[in-house]
Amino acid sequence: MAGLEQGLLQVYTGNGKGKSTAAFGLALRAAGRGLKVKIVQFLKKPDYGEHRALERLKPEIEIKSFGCKGFIRRGEVKPQDYQQAAKALEYARQAMHSGQADIIILDEINVALDYGLLDEAEVLALLQSRPQNVEVILTGRNASQKIVAAADLVTEMCEIKHPYTKGVSARKGIEY
């Protein structure tokens, strides 16, 4: 495996749908080229559809989730939410510096930062310490100005129309 000569920092943010989907699409493309991808999910339990699909793509793509059951809401953060976020960040740190991954996807880390579950300075220091040949992708709404400034590529997903507004609930296989 040749790996990457230069890894960049990408951010997928915004209120629109598709941030994680875009990152997972990149993971699929990378695996097709023989690159190793580690996905670290913040605030999610391993019961999303992508887990079932990505299990079939080991060892090229590995996914690990850190989160509590149910959705986390602003102002309703529990001690275990902080613990899970810290575990996810430590796992990401180890994966980033292991030499065993070309791409690290930090799924929903922007939300974990926005909710105060992680220290932004610590995350920025980790991103700055990444090996030169490791690509890192951060997903989630409300990416901070410091995260955006540190990134090489930022894509903002903009919601124009969504079925939620018509009362359509999240659908298995589409939203989760």
Rounded distance, CA 163 to CA 156, Å? 20
One-letter identity of residue 167: G
pLDDT of residue 2: 67
pLDDT of residue 121: 98
Homologous superfamily (CATH) of 9-166 is P-loop containing nucleotide triphosphate hydrolases (3.40.50.300)
Q: Are 118 and 112 in contact (CB under 8 A)?
A: yes
pLDDT of residue 82: 95
**Tokens encoding 167:** 């009362």
Q: Is-cis flag, bond preceding 163, omega within 30?
A: no
- Tell me the mean pLDDT per 10 residues along the chain, length 176: 87 96 96 96 83 89 89 84 97 97 98 97 98 98 98 96 85 78
Rounded distance, CA 153 to CA 151, Å? 6
Which residue carries 């580690």 as its tokens? Answer: 38
pLDDT of residue 164: 81
Query: Global pTM?
Result: 0.93
Domain ranges of the chain: 9-166
Rounded distance, CA 159 to CA 176, Å? 18
